[in-house]
Structure 1
């Protein structure tokens, strides 16, 4: 597949409450693809590359997708990414859903910094620091959970 991303015309503001939803393989490659497609979609919606909101939202997508692969992986099952712009609130909602029920993240109020020797446990702290708010809930259909975050953005100048 060939695309010329450099020649697209920039949208000066997001379309009315656009959404993007896609399933990805529960592998590092799937997480990487989710991050890259989210970055491109945000730019298309008028949240341009290189801006603070774009970088924060993409980092949140990367962390949640990586967590879905690392902690939510069930063999043969994909994870789902949903991006939704809530233009009236100047907010992007990120949702990552996996199919593993027994491994749930802590509640936002229960997050704690890992010990210096720990090799993990910093991703959700990063999400909490970048997002306006975040949380998780059991998946509505079937086993699993959805981890979500909301991130504010400013209108483009």
Structure 2
């Protein structure tokens, strides 16, 4: 059966906003994509960055973050990470930013993704999303 014949596949999990929660997000991504028969190299890098940002910049004590994966019939993977800090919007610093303390990881997200963005989520949260083409392995 081809991927196009299957329809969209979805996975979602709530994780603690800790470094171990961020590591677990990457491991769960690899396992889920393997179960779906999809390469995980690019996705693991994107999830690692977005989960790390959720823990470092989006953490509110006592609140978790959510990882969601959606694989559409054409093989496009959408990664979403929702954290509790809607007021902290990620940005991409360009090559002239030097050794800035933030923004460089989002350059990786932008490089691996066809497109990415940020949308508000309920309760003052935000969701950072990225879409990866099937050729990104």
Pick from 28, 53, 58 the counterpart of residue 67 of structure 1: 53
Matches within 5 A, 1:1-157: 13=3, 15-48=6-39, 54-88=40-74, 90-106=75-91, 111-113=93-95, 115-139=97-121, 141-154=122-135
Residue by residue over 1:93-115, the C-alpha shift from the partner in whole angstroms, topping out at 9 and shown as x without a partner, is: 00000111221123xxx642363
Deviation at 1:118, TM superposition (A): 2.8
Distance 1:36 1:100 in 2: 24
**TM-score, normalised on structure 2?**
0.89
The CA distance in 2 between the partners of 1:105 and 1:22, in whole Å, is 22
- Looking at structure 2, the residues matched to 99 and 118 of structure 1 have their Cα atoms a distance apart, in angstroms, of 24
- How many residue pairs align between the two structures? 134
Find the aligned partners of 2:26 and 2:96 in 1 and give their Cα distance: 25
Query: What is the CA RMSD across the aligned residues, in angstroms?
Result: 1.9
Deviations 1:58-84 (A, max 9, x none): 100110000000100000000000000
* Distance verdict in 2 for CA 1:61–1:148, change over 3 Å: same
Provide TM-score, normalisation by structure 1: 0.78
> Is there any run of 5+ residues in structure 2 with no aligned partner, and where?
none
